[in-house]
């Protein structure tokens, strides 16, 4: 270290360089010299000021006569004393000023030291706070890291446990499979042993039977050779006879179908020239609803012939109407209507029938809507319903009606599973003068409908009427086929089908409710036609249907003839169903 200092000192002397300490000493000496010069100048100024002040004071004292004027020597002495006193006073003042400056400087230094101390304390406090926050952050990170490690450890432990559980289950499954395989092998071995034993026994028996059979066959072969020639001749004769019978049956069947068509056409011609029947509209419907009306009327007459209308009577009435398939809602409305005006009074069966007619008319009148064409360029009318509901017959009757209105009608035999439906539609097509498109039996009905729509557009038909296969509403695969037909129609015309008509058989009673629910969802039913009202006592189900679904009712069927498909009239239906029409004179 000493050698290094000597080396540095030598270099400084050699190259004229100064150390930091030398520079600081020189600067201090220079400041001291400057301060000394300032002090001397200040002392001189203060001495001069004091001397001038003393001289001025003395001159004033002389001028005022306070003191006498002295001679030159005395004056010089006095001036010398005054100068000495002035210098002493100046020196004192300088020292006082210097002391004040030192004190001020010390106070300033102490103040700066205090500020420095406060700043240091603030810095230390900030540093301590910073360290505290850093420590907290470090602790937080450490805690998060510990939690993360704990969580990862837990997840790892859980994964390991899960893996162990899966391995255990796999091992158990493999063990079970192994045991099952061993058991199956054991059973197979046992069965094989039994089979081999049985086969050995069977072979012995077969050998014996074969020997006996060969002997019999040898004997029979000789007899068969003799019979074979005769059999061949007899078979050839039988085949010829069967072919002739089949050809005759086909000819008779063709003649039968042709005769049926001719007979139906002739019947239509006779009906078209027949005189107007005497029975009026109300009477025809009343006759058609006779079974439904009779049963209900008889029950009402038996229960309410001049009976007092009390709670028991109203309950009996509701039960009677529900049993007649009117449904709970309409039955309750009838009871409420009677209770409003007739409660605790005697009522007759006719008053009950009138109230029933009022309620039925109230429910059905808003739904009364004849089937009319919308005016679309090609009107697509889809008929849906279960087997036996009367779809095909109803479609044929409306085809005849539209043709009579001057419309060009094309019929599609979409029931490709029932040959009789195709034949039935062809009869109706002949009557209406409308061609019938059909496909192969069991073929794709949706494809047939597609072709029919293309043809109808190309050839300028006004109405396309589509028959569909009867579908049970609880058979999803059959309902899916119907959905496919609807999708195909909408693909070619998004506004079609313009009418989706559900044909219901009145004889099914309350089952019509579930049918309507299913077909409404699948085919977007726009209206109802109820058939076979003349063959059932369950005509009230139309009221229950209307009260629940609020679907338009286009027509009702009360017979097999064309005129037996009537446009629906709510007041007429209500009067006929309730039995009120029986008390009215027939309309001529």
Element (H, E) at 350: helix 349-364
Cα-based angle 438, 439, 443 (whole degrees, multiple of 5): 140
d(CA 112, CA 337): 108
264 class by beta-carbon count within 10 Å (0-12 exposed, 13-18 middle, 19+ buried): middle
| 437: Cβ contacts below 8 Å, ≥ 6 apart | 410, 411, 412, 413, 448, 451, 452, 455
pLDDT digits (tens, 9 = 90+) for 64-109: 766 566 567 777 887 788 778 877 877 787 788 778 878 888 888 8
254 to 25, 94, 257, 366: CA distances (angstroms): 145, 157, 5, 49
- Is the per-residue pLDDT at 418 higher than 70? no
Of 576, 578, 513, the closest CA to residue 542 belongs to 513
Instruction: Express each pLDDT in 261-295 by its tens digit.
Output: 444 444 444 344 344 444 555 666 666 566 666 67
pLDDT at 459: 94
- The better pLDDT of the pair 124, 440 is held by 124
Give the residue carrying structure tokens 């001159």. 59
Torsion from C-alpha of 47, 53, 59, 63, nearest 10 degrees: -170
Exposure letters 176-204 (e unless 16+ CB within 10 A, then b): eeeeeeeeeeeeeeeeeeeeeeeeeeeee
Tens digits of per-residue pLDDT, 334-389? 888 878 877 677 777 788 888 888 888 898 999 999 999 888 999 999 999 888 88
Q: What is the pLDDT of residues 131-175, one digit of tens each?
A: 899 999 899 998 988 889 888 888 898 888 888 888 888 888 888
Domains of the chain in start order, with CATH, are 45-54+77-91 (no CATH), 369-568 (3.40.50.300)
Strands (DSSP E) found in 454-498: 463-468
Residue 533: which of 355, 354, 293 has the closest Cα?
Answer: 293
Whole-number percent of the chain with pLDDT over 70: 77
Q: What is the pTM of this model?
A: 0.52
Q: What percent of the chain has pLDDT over 90?
A: 16
Q: Annotate 527-570 with three-state secondary structure.
A: EEEEECHHHCCCCCHHHHHHHHHCCCEEEEECCCCHHHEEECCH
């Amino acid at each position: 270290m000493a050698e290094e200092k000597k080396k540095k000192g030598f270099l400084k002397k050699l190259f004229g360089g100064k150390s930091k300490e030398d520079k600081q000493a020189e600067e201090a000496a220079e400041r001291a010299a400057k301060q000394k010069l300032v002090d001397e100048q200040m002392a001189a100024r203060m001495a001069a000021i004091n001397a001038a002040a003393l001289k001025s004071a003395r001159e004033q004292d002389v001028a005022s006569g306070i003191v006498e004027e002295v001679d030159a020597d005395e004056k010089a002495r006095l001036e010398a004393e005054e100068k000495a006193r002035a210098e002493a006073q100046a020196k004192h003042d300088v020292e006082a000023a210097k002391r004040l400056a030192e004190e001020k400087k010390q106070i300033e230094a102490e103040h700066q030291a205090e500020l420095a101390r406060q700043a240091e304390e603030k810095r230390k406090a900030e540093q301590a706070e910073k360290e505290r926050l850093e420590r907290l952050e470090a602790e937080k990170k450490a805690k998060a890291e510990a939690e993360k490690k704990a969580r990862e450890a837990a997840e790892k432990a859980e994964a390991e446990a899960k893996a162990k559980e899966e391995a255990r289950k796999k091992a158990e499954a493999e063990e079970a499979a192994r045991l099952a395989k061993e058991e199956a092998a054991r059973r197979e071995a046992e069965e094989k042993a039994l089979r081999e034993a049985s086969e050995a026994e069977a072979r012995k028996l077969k050998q014996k039977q074969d020997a006996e059979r060969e002997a019999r066959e040898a004997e029979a072969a000789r007899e068969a050779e003799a019979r074979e020639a005769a059999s061949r001749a007899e078979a050839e004769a039988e085949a010829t006879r069967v072919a002739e019978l089949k050809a005759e049956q086909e000819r008779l069947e063709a003649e039968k179908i042709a005769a049926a068509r001719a007979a139906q056409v002739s019947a239509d011609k006779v009906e078209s020239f027949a005189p107007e029947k005497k029975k009026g509209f109300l009477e025809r419907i009343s006759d058609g609803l006779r079974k439904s009306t009779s049963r209900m009327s008889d029950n009402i007459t038996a229960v309410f012939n001049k009976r007092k209308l009390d709670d028991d009577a109203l309950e009996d009435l509701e039960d009677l109407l529900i049993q007649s398939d009117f449904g709970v809602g309409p039955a309750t409305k009838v009871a409420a209507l009677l209770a409003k005006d007739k409660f605790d009074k005697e009522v007759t069966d006719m008053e009950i029938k009138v109230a029933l007619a009022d309620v039925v008319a109230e429910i059905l009148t808003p739904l009364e809507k004849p089937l009319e064409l919308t005016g679309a360029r090609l009107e697509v009318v889809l008929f849906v319903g279960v087997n036996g509901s009367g779809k095909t017959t109803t479609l044929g009757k409306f085809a005849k009606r539209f043709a009579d209105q001057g419309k060009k009608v094309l019929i599609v035999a979409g029931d490709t599973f029932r040959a009789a439906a195709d034949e039935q539609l062809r009869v109706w097509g002949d009557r209406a003068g409308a061609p019938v498109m059909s496909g192969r039996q069991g073929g794709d009905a949706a494809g047939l409908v597609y072709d029919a729509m293309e043809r109808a557009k190309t050839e300028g038909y006004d109405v396309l009427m589509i028959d569909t296969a009867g579908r049970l509403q609880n058979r999803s695969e059959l309902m899916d086929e119907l959905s496919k037909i609807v999708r195909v129609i909408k693909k070619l015309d998004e506004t079609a089908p313009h009418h989706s008509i559900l044909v219901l058989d009145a004889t099914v009673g309350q089952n019509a409710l579930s049918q309507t629910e299913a077909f409404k969802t699948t085919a977007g039913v726009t209206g109802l036609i109820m058939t076979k009202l003349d063959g059932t006592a369950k005509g009230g189900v139309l009221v229950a249907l209307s009260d629940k679904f609020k679907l338009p009712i286009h027509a009702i069927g009360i017979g097999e003839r064309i005129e037996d498909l009537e446009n629906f009239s709510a007041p007429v239906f209500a009067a006929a169903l309730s039995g009120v029409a029986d008390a009215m004179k027939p309309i001529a």
